[in-house]
Amino acid sequence: MSQSTYYERPEPTSESEWHSRPLEDVYAALETSEEGLDSAAARERLDRYGPNEVETEAGASLFRIFLEQYTSVLIWVLILAAAVMGAIGETLDAAVIAGIVVFITLFGFAQDYRAEQSIQALEELSTTYAMVRRDGEKTEIDATRVVPGDVVFVASGDAVPADARVISASNLRVDESALTGESLSVAKTAETVPKEAAIADRTNVLHKDTVVERGSATAVVIETGPETEIGQIATALEEAEDRDTPFQTELDRLGKVIAVAVIGVVTVIGITELVLGDTAPVQVFMTAVAVAVSAVPEGLPAVVTLSLALGARRMADQNALVRRLPIVEALGSVDVICTDKTGTLTEAEMTVTRLAANRETYQVTGTGYDTDGEFRQDGETANPDQVAELLRCSMLCNDVELGRREDRREASKNEDVGDRKDNPNDEQNDSAAEDAGDELVYLGDPTEISLFVAARKAGFDHDELRDRFPRIDELEFSSDRKRMTTLHETPDGDRIAYTKGAPEVVLERCSREYVDGELLELTDERRAEINARNESFAEDALRVMAFAFRPAAPAELSEDNEQDLVYLGLQGMLDPPRPEVAGALRGCLDAGIDVVMITGDNATTARAIGAELGLASVRVIRGPELEAMSDEELTEVVEDVDIFARTSPEHKTRILTMLQSKGHTVAMTGDGVNDAPAVKNADVGVAMGIRGTDVTEQASDIVLLDDNFATIRDAVRQGRRIFDNVRKFVNYFLSANGAHVLLLFTGIMSGAGLVMTPIMFLWINVVTDGIPALTLGVDPEADNVMERPPRPPAEGVITERIISSIGGIAILITATLLPLFYYYNQVLGDLVLAQTMVFTAFVFMAIARIGAIRTRYGLGLFGNNRWLVGAIAITLTLQLLVLYTPLGILFGVTPLALNHWLQIAVVVAAFSILMAAFVRLQDRFFDRY
């Protein structure tokens, strides 16, 4: 069939009814057929409706990144200062200030651009492919080029490329948890469903980004990109406003406070000088600029950005990708972590851990899909032959396949991987793809995979076993039947049927049991014993399945002949906790962080996993209970519950809102699309990098590349370390700037004169203070960083102690340096020497200030930070170059003699002694930090 070149997408009133319309109507509305589209029609539709991708916020352009560097009030204060200096003819000072502005701008631009490039690179590596029928032939294309009307083919392990109506399906089950949050896979067929069916009940529709667990299907694409169910959720998320972190808000407020303070001080000095004194207007301008430059911590924006960027890089090395730099600091105040269970606290790989066969119980070692493990009984190694018949049944009555799944992220990095669409049979391309990251994987239902792996632990080879017992018929598993039966031909030409399913369902169809090679009558007493064994397994949070067989089976299977079975035994499986999670969770609890498990699993399993990990919650709230609670009732109990079971993604958002209403700072994990609103609205949104969808990643602040709870713990540790370091250099910068302003103001108002020139203040702020401050950003964490409680949400970077430090250090520096300046300027009449002495002494006082700040965190002056040692050495060297080289002309300084150095040493020593006493006084009235 040839399609018309022009295709008009149906109106919204029709598109919501794709599931209820006959296939012939669907073909007609899409102007397509079971043969798919031709290339011309596909190109026209792609041009008209755009690529098949979820619309996300476009990355920032270079121009936008550049302009964002000028949003800081501090930068504009400097620009104004440079303009004033240039206007009054002080071109050298104006050039230096302008150079500082350019440096800060370029530094911030480079950091932001690098972060933007990293995010774009991650998105580019997530390319997926789709198999479609074009021009009558199967063709693999980039999934973004799929259009409405395309006929697509999906099989076990594939991600569905777009919303599509099923044409035909074979034993198809799809994991729709990414969309609906439902953990169990959904059977799909081509049958029409009622118009009023909910999304989760539309069993003839495949949804974009869901995953085929088993089987295969042919389907016709009905919606692409933003028109898909997932796309519509993503579009709604784009309308949500990004929130500033408390730190961003505080920095903005700090800039405004400094700007107002500068205006106030300059106004007071200007009026005083012009009205009461006889100072020339030009000198008043110079003084005003000096005050502005002295008050503004010019290096602070650069140091903050670098510290956050270095912290983000360190977190990336630990599998936590930071999407918004300021969120790094917000991690330090998290006091509740709401986490998924599957894959985050657990391995996300079902594992058979216990068997019951031959009237005995056996333990199975090993975890996940690793075939290393053994069978044990009463603590001793058991012979796998004792459970061979049970395991043979579980491997044959099983749809798991071993296959290769290409790691596209790795393959995209390998330039030798050819275009599979153009050369589908090219051996070189296949080899390159394997080298680029193909991995051997199990394709199928997780429960069946665990059974398959258990059989492999006993030495069964699936290819050899299936060759010896070829399948000739099957009755597939369904939620109504609760069992699956397969019919096989035996090596001697007979037939045998194998059945697995819910223990009560299988057992009622059994009349005999297999015990040590004999078929014995299944008595009522034995049935009671088997049921008791099943209950014992279930009480330990194991998912239990029973297995049976029928020798001399009929030639065709039907539900009527699933009778007179021979009971083989039970297998109990669970998704085991990750081995590192218990320690990580204990570390969070020790740090004052509550951990809340929110899972779609049943309460028994959730409680058992929680108890094993250390979440011994007395009360578990289930989803139905949660829905029955009012907001007031939930608010009363939400802080006392550690486990929520049988929850939906909507429940996550409600739990989050209640916790935030109680004043908590919450980190929320999520993977499915329906988790995105909760992740977006959390104080720190955490997406799963392996199981997570693109929409959830876009809504998140942090992406866990390994889906591991321990990585969250490590991220919180890094967040606290980074916040400590930010607080250190904010304290360091602002205490210096407070001293600048007070020293300058006091000197002018007392008639002593201009203590330092604007360029001297700039040199201290950017170079001699800025370089050591940069290295404070890489300070190691304090030993007790995960032993302290989280800081209160209302507690910012600038605490009462830091405010007292700013004022106290300003007074101490002024008290020690002003007499020195007064002596050389007023007594000896040498203004240049006086300014040089104060300038140099101030630089050396910075070393004492660093020591005092680091001591509070259990660190010495130089301990555990070799970069700080180098920074101080560079700072002192640069200061000497200013004093004893032609650079001194630019700064208006004079070389110092030995007696000058001795006097500076006495002043710095006196300041250090006074500051040590001041710090001890602070310890009596304020918290340590």
- Spatial CA neighbour of 175 closest among 323, 315, 342, 296: 342
User: Do 402 and 435 touch, CB atoms closer than 8 A?
Assistant: no
Q: Is 340 a catalytic residue?
A: yes
715 CB burial (10 A radius; 0-12, 13-18, 19+):
buried
Q: Is the CB of residue 332 less than 8 Å from the CB of residue 718?
A: no
* R_g of the chain, CA atoms, integer Å: 35
Q: Which residues contact 699 (CB under 8 A, 6 or more apart)?
A: 237, 670, 676, 677, 679, 680, 685, 687
Cβ neighbours of residue 221 under 8 Å, at least 6 residues apart?
Answer: 30, 146, 147, 148, 149, 150, 151, 152, 161, 162, 163, 164
Catalytic annotation, pick one of 93, 112, 158, 340: 340
Query: Which of 336, 251, 260 is CA-nearest to residue 302?
Result: 251
Between CA 478 and CA 482 the distance in angstroms is 6
Beta strands in 196-303 (DSSP E): 205-206, 211-223
Say how far apart CA 561 and CA 547 lie, in whole Å.
Answer: 16
Cα–Cα–Cα angle for 105, 109, 114, nearest 5°? 155
Look up residue 91 and give its two tokens: 């071109």
- Do residues 337 and 344 touch, judged by C-beta distance below 8 A? no
What is the residue whose two structure tokens read 């295709």?
7
DSSP state of 60: P
Instruction: Give the SS3 label for residue 855.
Output: helix
**497 in Cβ contact with 549 (< 8 Å):** yes
Q: Which two tokens stand for residue 624?
A: 């139905």
Residue 918, SS3? helix
CA distance 190 to 185: 17
- The residue behind tokens 């199975």 is 364
Cβ–Cβ < 8 Å for 875, 843: yes
| Cβ neighbours, 10 Å, residue 667 | 28
Amino acid identity of residue 908, one-letter, is V
Sign of the torsion angle spanned by Cα atoms 702, 706, 709, 714: negative
Sequence letter at residue 465: L
| Beta-bridge partners for 376 | 363, 381
Question: Phi-psi bin for 858: left (phi > 0), alpha (psi -120 to 50), beta?
Answer: left
Is residue 547 within 8 Å of 394, Cβ to Cβ? Answer: yes
Alpha-carbon separation of residue 574 from 285, 443, 450, 542, 607 (angstroms): 76, 19, 9, 5, 13
718 vs 707: CA distance, rounded Å: 17
User: Is 215:175 a contact under the CB 8 Å cutoff?
Assistant: no
Residue with tokens 């070393």: 847
As a whole number of angstroms, the distance between CA 195 and CA 304 comes to 56
In DSSP notation, 731-767 reads HHHHHHHHHHHHHHHHHHHTT---SS-HHHHHIIIII
Separation of alpha carbons 828 and 815, rounded Å: 20
What is the Cα–Cα distance from 646 to 597, expressed in whole angstroms? 11
The phi, psi pair for 238, rounded to 5°, reads -65, -25
> Cβ distance 633 to 614 under 8 Å?
no
Look up residue 850 and give its DSSP letter: H
Question: Which residues have a catalytic role annotated?
Answer: 340
